[in-house]
Amino acid sequence: MKVRFKVNGVEREIEVEPYELLADVLRERLGLKALKKGCWRGECGLCTILMDGEPVKSCIILAVEADGSEIYTVEGFSEDGRPSPLQESFIRNAGLQCGFCTPGFIVVGEYLARKPRISKEEVKYALSGTICRCTGYKQIVDAVLEAHQEYRKE
């Protein structure tokens, strides 16, 4: 089946099997390797992408379901190869250690940090869908809140 979608601002058209997962198509066929393979059953959040502006776990979505959608992965948030303000904030706040979970947090974090208003509780709740075994989460929450302040200045 042929699907068309926009990925990180670029129109893509690709033949997929009806059973192919969106995560597999993005990572293995379109080469977007920041998208990580974790549980592959919707639990860890490492494969999170933005689809039509909302964070979704791409390992539980079929590629055909994404036909006509607009998708962002971590690769789509940097500009000219430079880290985004949120990515810089993760570094400043030590929001990562091994880094394996980081792509999932960055995607949800960009979604949160770019909202007009967010509360700490909302950030904590939204980030609870992604699992980190290193940082203890506080630094990640701090990184998102700090980036939110920066995006508000832009």
Q: What does the binding site for ligand FES look like in residue numbers (CB under 6 A)?
A: 37-40, 42-47, 57, 59, 96-101, 132-135
Which helix (H) or strand (E) covers residue 74, if one does? Answer: none
Query: At residue 91, what are phi and psi to the nearest 5 degrees?
Result: -65, -50
Smallest gap from residue 45 Cβ to ligand FES (A): 5
**Which of 14/39 has CB closer to ligand FES?**
39
Is the four-CA dihedral 122, 93, 9, 13 of positive or negative sign? negative
Smallest separation, CB 69 to ligand FES (Å): 17
Q: Report the residue number, 47 or 141, with the smaller CB distance to ligand FES.
A: 47
CB of 93 to ligand FES, least distance (A): 12
| DSSP state string for 80-143 | TTBPPHHHHHHHHTT--SS-SSHHHHHHHHHHHHTSS---HHHHHHHHTTS--SSS-SHHHHHH
Which residue lies nearer to ligand FES by CB, 59 or 112?
59
Q: How far apart are CA 71 and CA 122, in angstroms?
A: 23
How far apart are CB 55 and ligand FES at their closest, in Å?
Answer: 11
93/135 with CB nearer ligand FES: 135
